[in-house]
Amino acid sequence: MKVIELVDVYKIYRTAYYEVHALDGVSMEVEAGEFVAIMGPSGSGKSTLLNMIGCLDKPTKGEVIINGVKTSGLSDRELTKLRRDSIGFIFQQYNLIPTLTALENVELPMIFRGVARAERERRAKELLKVVGIEELADRRPREMSGGQQQRVAIARALANNPKILLCDEPTGNLDTKSGRQVMGILKNLNEENGVTVVLVTHDPSLSEYADRVIRIRDGKVVEDVY
């Protein structure tokens, strides 16, 4: 079953003086349960591609289809609901709310979804246990290491039980040991829970965790290997 499909997607950024073709006719499909690494040099278009898949940006031309739904015809409210219910995001900078505890950060997406307090607290504790830091539930981001903060970010991304997990350089700010621990968690989620993982990275060593590597250069897919 295809959970992600891009059909001849272009993204062009225009200024008064020039235009940049960030994506130049990209077509690709991702099946449910795949672990895909998108790789390429800085400026190749890989983060723009991830933004398209995550419905954080709209293509200039072409179609993005998520879980069989053509996103071009969706309103902003419908896109927000699709992201909330189907896609989890993990970023290089963690993007945790500094005034909230780890538990509260994980609960946040469930608040937006209207989950009852007792249920969201139960699930948040369960997710912190999944990522191995249940004992840090009451700590705030400044009281945690980078690796611990990224684990909280993973737990938060899983709060609404998404089918798709999008990861933008998730180990970029971590030391080697913490990076491998984070990648191990992502691989386990993929293998044990069937979560579809799409990972953007410039680090060749991370490709060993993926079932498939898509290489992008100058906004074009130049290699797609299993």
Strand order in the sheet with 19-31: 19-31, 2-14, 61-66, 69-70
| pLDDT tens digits, 79-138 | 999 999 999 999 888 999 999 999 999 999 999 899 999 999 999 999 999 999 999 999
Domain ranges of the chain: 2-225
CA distance linking residue 72 with residue 180, whole number of Å = 37
Structure tokens belonging to residue 81: 């609901």
| pLDDT tens digits, 25-37 | 999 999 999 999 9
Adjacent-strand bridge partners of 200: 38, 168
Q: What is the pLDDT of residue 18?
A: 86
CA distance linking residue 72 with residue 92, whole number of Å = 28
Structure tokens belonging to residue 163: 């089918």
- Looking at the domain that runs over 2-225, which CATH code has it been given? 3.40.50.300
Structure tokens belonging to residue 30: 């991702």
pTM for this prediction: 0.91
| 19-33 per-residue burial string, b: 16 or more CB within 10 A, e: under 16 | eeebbbebebebeeb
Give me the amino acid identity at 116.
A
Cα angle, residue 99 at apex, residues 93 and 100 outer, rounded to 5°? 85
Mean predicted confidence (pLDDT) in 169-188: 92
| DSSP conformational letter for 118 | H
